[in-house]
Amino acid sequence: MTDVYAVIGNPIGHTKSPLIHGLFAEATQQDMVYSSIEGRIGQFAADMAAFRTAGGRGMNVTAPFKLDAFACATERSPRAQMAGAVNALKFDGDRVIAENFDGVGLTRDVTHNLGCALQGKRVLLLGAGGAARGALLPFLEQQPASLVITNRTLDKAEALAKEAAAHGPVSACAYAELVGQQFDVVFNATSASLRAELPPVPAAVFAPGALAYELAYGKGLTPFLRLAQQAGVSQLADGVGMLVEQAAEAFAWWRGVRPQTGPVIERLTVPLV
């Protein structure tokens, strides 16, 4: 019997998840179908229940339902607990098991696909929202020399740093306090690029040989990446690798086999111009 999976979000028309999981299933010869569901705002629990009743085995969860999925779960992984949000669910009888693969997918893209080890590096994380929360534990597991979180609302960055302090060398500062500091890897986890805006980050934060990573994908040369390029950064990346790698983690969690990600990343990559 063909197993059924889906991604739920609102809006959902832009999603690449059915294409990605379809390619994974074809490559690994898995008997499954994967579709998209436009969830109803305020009705996530009912929509999830309907999908389970219809035989659904698991779901990916995207905006704006990641907090709803967290609330509906009966079991949550440490990564999901730290993020306070969920991007993948597995259904097993009465159990609703929750995971968050965003950060581990991002970390794998950086360390494996881009060949940039985070161990011993000075890492700067722009933003303190859900994307940043999901990245914290996977980043700190790589043992960076330091991880600094900055955010327009400093209180949010400080609260996040305090929450993660037991897991590694993490701190918070205001954007203005970045003047005079340099970092080996700079991640833009803000929503600024979705509005074609630039976070108030000084161009001088990029150390020689730095990596500038934009979590948004398919936007080309965003204002953040353009700033990095103008500052002399040669290694630029957007979030397409993160998108595919987190999907591969969910696929492996559901199916017990991890697909090759390189061909899918290549297919979805938009030139950074």
**Span 68-72, average pLDDT:** 97
pLDDT band at 74 (very low <50, low <70, confident <90, very high): very high
CA quadruple 10, 16, 22, 27: dihedral sign? negative
Is 66 catalytic? The answer is: yes
pLDDT of residue 70 exceeding 90, the answer is yes
Q: Is residue 69's pLDDT more than 90?
A: yes
Q: Is 212 found in the same domain as 165?
A: yes
Within-domain flag for 273: no
**pLDDT (mean) for 226-241:** 97
User: What pLDDT is attached to residue 265?
Assistant: 97
Residues 61 and 85 in one domain: yes
Q: Is 135 found in the same domain as 66?
A: no
DSSP 229-272: HHTT--EEE-THHHHHHHHHHHHHHHHS-PPP-HHHHHHH----
Residue 180 zone, left/alpha/beta (φ > 0; ψ -120 to 50; rest): left
Residue with tokens 């590694």: 168
pLDDT of residue 151: 97
* Catalytic residue selected from 66, 156, 162, 219: 66
In a domain, 254, yes or no: yes
Residue 198 belongs to a domain with what CATH number?
Answer: 3.40.50.720
Whole-number pLDDT of residue 228:
98
Q: What is the dihedral of CA 136, 142, 143, 145, to 10 degrees?
A: -80
**Same-domain check for residues 234 and 260:** no
How far apart CA 46 and CA 149 sit, in angstroms, is 36
* Pair (212, 250) in one structural domain: no
Q: What is the pLDDT of residue 138?
A: 95
Rounded average pLDDT over 210-218: 95
Q: pLDDT at position 273, please?
A: 84
**Residue type at 43?**
Q
Question: What pLDDT is stored for residue 129 in this prediction?
Answer: 87
User: Would you place residue 1 in the very low, low, confident or very high pLDDT band (cuts 50, 70, 90)?
Assistant: confident
Tell me, yes or no, whether 128 and 227 share the same domain: yes
Residues 226, 259 within the same domain: no
What domain count does the chain have? Answer: 2
Sheet strand arrangement including 122-126: 170-173, 146-150, 122-126, 183-188, 206-214, 235-237
Residue 128 confidence (pLDDT): 93
Per-residue pLDDT tens over the stretch 243-266: 999 999 999 999 999 999 999 999
| Confidence check: pLDDT of 241 > 90 | yes
Tell whether 84 and 121 lie within a shared domain: no
Mean of the per-residue pLDDT values for the chain?
96
Residue 115 domain-assigned (yes or no): yes
pLDDT per residue over 155-213, tens digit each?
A: 999 999 999 999 999 999 999 999 999 999 999 999 898 899 999 999 999 999 999 99
Q: Kindly report, residue by residue over 135-168, the tens digit of the pLDDT.
A: 999 999 999 999 999 999 999 999 999 999 999 9
Domain region containing 167:
103-238
Q: Are residues 225 and 134 in the same domain?
A: yes
